[in-house]
Amino acid sequence: MSDDIMKEAPDESEAEEMTVTISLDDGDVVCAVITIFEVEGRDYIALLPLDENGENTDGEVWLYRYSENPDDPNEEPELGYIDDDDEFEKVEEAFDEYLDSVEFDEML
């Protein structure tokens, strides 16, 4: 199962932040893209859901499978749910390692 996503142009004040809009059953949610990363040969994306003010106050992060069509770079990427608990744990662990490396890099 995939969610529809749409890339949005970054707003001028936050030129480096990329966002996507995810269409869920109960409405659309704008999310900031934290990173796209690989685990065991498969790509995943970490998203930070934003409220109507463009903020995330609870620190919640959503992890999804991520895929692009290599034959058509203009086609919208697809997101998929991670249904398998073991797969989710590996993805969560890889994301935690990413966060640790970013924090370490910021200290240098």
Structural domain including 63 reads 2-107
Name the residue among 97, 78, 81 with its Cα closest to residue 39.
97
Does the pLDDT value for residue 38 go beyond 60?
yes
Number of structural domains found in the chain: 1
pLDDT band at 108 (very low <50, low <70, confident <90, very high): very low
pLDDT band at 16 (very low <50, low <70, confident <90, very high): low
Name the residue among 67, 59, 69, 62 with its Cα closest to residue 92.
62
For 58, residues 6+ apart whose C-beta sits below 8 A from its C-beta are none
Does the pLDDT value for residue 1 go beyond 50?
no
